[in-house]
Amino acid sequence: MAKPLILVSNDDGITAPGIRMLVRVAMKIGEVVVVAPDGPQSGMGHAITIGNTLRLDRSIALEDLGVEAYECSGTPADCVKLAKHHVLRERTPDLVVSGINHGSNSSISVLYSGTMSAAIEAAIEGLPAIGFSLCDYGHGADFSHTEAYVEKIIRQAIVNRIPENTALNVNFPKKSDEPIKGIKICRQAHAKWQEEFDERLDPNNRKYYWMTGSFVNFDKGEDTDEWALVNNYISIVPCQFDLTAHHAIGMLNEDWDF
């Protein structure tokens, strides 16, 4: 029986420690092909390259793992498009996995996330997909406690499948002295980033800004990704690319006069 074909991408770049761990795990399960950005693309969301050329080259970044890998000058969504329509144009991946992201992609961060945009782009292409993220922004973030769970989730996705037009947003709590309590299927918490802008002057006395701020969670529910992560659970949120506010269609039809 042929091994499943697994496409791996990310947004932290092909040299990031998270993608190295994800590739190692995926190689236990199937044949792996990597197409990832040649440098960091965090916070790019679902951006695609339309005004510049794209470059795609064989990469030596993961050569020691013996995996077929390519680095792309574009965004995470570009990487999946190129993988689907060029690198693997005569083959169809059984699963697309993205990450493991260095930092949380829970709640509203899913909209800004390049990691999840790679997974959602795969879902748009009709491919089952998962984005993995670790809620640790530290330079020396420890990914080791995610390994067994990543393998378990990938195997479940291969055997039991992922619902059509859906990408799974998987977030891991930061490693602590206490073991992870388990996995919870969650909804996205109602929360947002409250931005502030630090105004400064450059040497030519021109203003420039650093965006800062804090994360504000308005959601008190115990079925959200934020609750799960705070309580040391892994969160899995099924995400869709259909952004239609279906509940608003009736109100607009009834109340608006066209």
Question: What is the β-pairing status of strands 68-72 and 191-201?
Answer: unpaired
Q: Does the annotation list 169 as a binding residue?
A: no
CB burial of residue 141 (10 Å; 0-12, 13-18, 19+): middle
217 by DSSP, 3-state: which?
Answer: strand
Q: Does the annotation list 171 as a binding residue?
A: no
Strands (E) across the chain are located at 5-9, 31-37, 56-58, 68-72, 95-102, 129-134, 166-172, 183-185, 191-201, 207-217, 234-240
Q: 110: closest CA among 211, 15, 243?
A: 243
Q: Does the annotation list 101 as a binding residue?
A: yes
> Angle at Cα 68 formed by Cα 65 and Cα 71, nearest 5°?
105
Q: Does the annotation list 117 as a binding residue?
A: no
C-alpha pair distances (Å), 225 with each of 10, 66, 115, 138:
21, 35, 17, 21
Sequence-distant (6+) residues with CB within 8 A of 255 are none
Structure tokens at 176: 């602590």
First to last CA, the chain: 59
* Residue 103 near residue 134, CB atoms below 8 Å: yes
**Residue numbers belonging to the annotated binding site:** 11-12, 42, 101
**Residue numbers belonging to the annotated binding site for a divalent metal cation:** 11-12, 42, 101
